[in-house]
């Protein structure tokens, strides 16, 4: 969602040519969403995790670590390709650091990864609004707040997290991405 915002909602946020944005977006979605999703399903089918919900902290260690590796490799690939706009690899770097921090926390406490992502999305919307005056952030921000409510409520309803894990994930994701995305456009 972050890269959809950068590429399509605020065209001036990156210098990637229009004809190349779709391919780059597809690469990012493939390497940071689809391949990790397939890997987690593979973990479930092979018995590495008992459930896709990863209800216990112990079930989260291996999948979260593998996801950090995928994000790190994708960030390195984008960094290594000097013709790419630095906004792209810097954005993915901020997200990767946030996920690495979440993974480290997971060894001690079960903070909500879903809410970390939603908090990060809210942060980038606010940061983009401060850097790009033509960005009409109201509906995006309202949508992100609504999404936070739906995701947080569903995680509580499913007994996947306690309220403090939900709030901590939201605040952690927001703070990491707010501070990190300030760096992206400076």
Is pTM beyond 0.85? Reply is yes
Predicted pLDDT of residue 99: 96
DSSP codes joined into one string, 13-58: G----HHHHHHHHHHHHIIIIIHHHHHHHHHHHHTSSS-TT--SHH
Cβ neighbors of 144 (< 8 A, separation 6 or more) are 118, 121, 122, 125
The CA angle 101-160-48, to the nearest 5 degrees, is: 70
Predicted pLDDT of residue 52: 76
pLDDT digits (tens), the chain, 186 positions:
899 999 999 888 888 888 889 999 999 999 999 999 999 999 889 988 888 777 777 788 889 999 999 999 999 999 997 677 889 999 999 999 999 999 999 889 989 999 999 999 999 999 999 999 989 899 999 999 999 999 999 999 998 899 999 999 999 999 999 999 999 988
Predicted pLDDT of residue 50: 83
| 138 vs 47: CA distance, rounded Å | 44
Predicted pLDDT of residue 82: 63
Predicted pLDDT of residue 172: 97
């Amino acid at each position: 969602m972050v890269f959809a915002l950068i590429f399509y909602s605020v065209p001036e946020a990156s210098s990637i040519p229009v004809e190349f944005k779709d391919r780059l977006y597809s690469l990012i979605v493939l390497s940071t969403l689809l391949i990790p999703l397939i890997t987690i399903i593979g973990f479930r089918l092979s018995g590495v995790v008992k459930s896709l919900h990863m209800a216990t902290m112990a079930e989260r260690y291996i999948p979260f670590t593998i996801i950090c590796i995928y994000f790190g490799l994708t960030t390195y690939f984008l960094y290594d390709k000097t013709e790419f706009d630095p906004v792209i690899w810097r954005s993915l770097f901020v997200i990767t650091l946030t996920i690495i921090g979440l993974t480290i926390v997971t060894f001690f406490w079960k903070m909500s990864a879903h809410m970390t992502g939603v908090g990060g999305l809210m942060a980038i919307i606010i940061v983009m609004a401060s850097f790009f005056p033509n960005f009409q952030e109201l509906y995006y921000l309202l949508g992100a707040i609504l999404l936070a409510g739906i995701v947080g409520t569903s995680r509580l309803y499913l007994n996947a997290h306690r309220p403090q894990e939900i709030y901590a994930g939201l605040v952690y994701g927001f703070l990491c991405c707010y501070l990190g995305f300030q760096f992206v456009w400076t």
